[in-house]
Amino acid sequence: MNSLKLTTLALGFLLPAAAFATPVCPNLGFATGCTTVITVNSAGTLTAGAGPSPSPNYDGSDDQLVGFYNNSSLTISSINLNGGAGNPIFGFDGDGITTFGDPGNKSDTTGYGGPDSNFSNISLDLTKGTVNFVTAIAPGGFTYFALEDAFSASTPITGTVGGGGTGVTPEPSTLLLLGTGLVGVAASVRRRLFN
For 9-42, what is each residue's pLDDT tens digit?
333 333 333 344 556 788 878 878 888 888 888 8
**Quick check: 140 pLDDT over 90?**
yes
Query: Domain for residue 180, yes or no?
Result: no
Query: Domain for residue 104, yes or no?
Result: yes
Query: Domain for residue 111, yes or no?
Result: yes
Query: Domain for residue 178, yes or no?
Result: no
Query: Domain for residue 193, yes or no?
Result: no
| pLDDT at 193 (0 to 100) | 81
Hey, is 175 helix, strand or coil? helix
Domain that holds residue 124: 2-168
Q: Residue 142: beta bridge partners?
A: 69
Query: Domain for residue 192, yes or no?
Result: no
Indicate the pairing of strand 36-40 with strand 63-70: parallel
Alpha-carbon distance of 55 to 134, in angstroms, equals 28
Residue partners of 128: CB distance under 8 A and separation at least 6: 80, 81, 82, 83, 90, 121, 122
Alpha-carbon distance of 158 to 75, in angstroms, equals 19
What total number of domains does the chain contain?
1
pLDDT in tens, 100-139: 777 778 888 888 888 889 999 999 999 899 999 999 999 9
pLDDT in tens, 171-194: 556 666 677 778 888 888 888 888
Query: Domain for residue 44, yes or no?
Result: yes
Secondary structure E strands in 1-89: 36-40, 46-50, 63-70, 76-82
| pLDDT at 142 (0 to 100) | 92
**One-letter amino acid identity for 52?**
P
Query: Domain for residue 15, yes or no?
Result: yes
